[in-house]
């Protein structure tokens, strides 16, 4: 397995993972992304005798990381929204701490 290394002169990004919003900034590209902290397609849940309904996955709940895999997907989606072909030099990530 090969790992891609970021170029030494590539741009940097900062991400703030919040319970309701995720914010990303890539200063070199003058890009700011502000989106809800929900991931991908809906997740089917069933409660009692009710029919299944679709709800978005929330990887951060009550200020704590509830699903690390979903947090990773959310971070990737946000960075891809900033620039799909972006190869970053450094990423500063702020996560909630309870």
* CB distance 78 to 24 below 8 Å: yes
CA gap 49, 61 in Å, rounded: 26
Whole-number pLDDT of residue 25 = 93
Q: Write down the pTM of the prediction.
A: 0.67
**For the chain, how far is it from start to end, CA to CA, in angstroms?**
36
For 18-30, how does the pLDDT look when each residue is reduced to its tens digit (9 = 90+)? 888 899 999 988 9
List the single range of 5-9, 30-34, 60-64 with lowest mean pLDDT. Answer: 5-9
| pLDDT above 80 for 11 | yes
| pLDDT above 80 for 43 | no
Return the residue matching tokens 């991908």.
Answer: 40
Q: Could you tell me the domains of the chain?
A: 12-94 (3.30.420.40)
Average pLDDT, integer, range 62-89: 84
Work out the mean pLDDT of the chain and round it to a whole number: 77
CA gap 52, 63 in Å, rounded: 27
């Amino acid at each position: 397995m090969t790992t891609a290394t970021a170029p030494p002169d590539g741009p940097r990004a900062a991400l703030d993972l919040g319970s309701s919003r995720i914010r990303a900034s890539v200063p070199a590209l003058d890009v700011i992304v502000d989106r809800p902290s929900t991931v991908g397609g809906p997740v089917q849940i069933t409660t009692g005798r009710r029919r299944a309904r679709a709800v978005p996955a929330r990887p951060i709940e009550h200020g704590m990381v509830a699903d690390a895999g979903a947090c990773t997907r959310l971070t990737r989606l946000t960075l891809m929204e900033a620039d799909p072909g972006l190869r970053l030099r450094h990423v500063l990530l702020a996560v909630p701490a309870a």
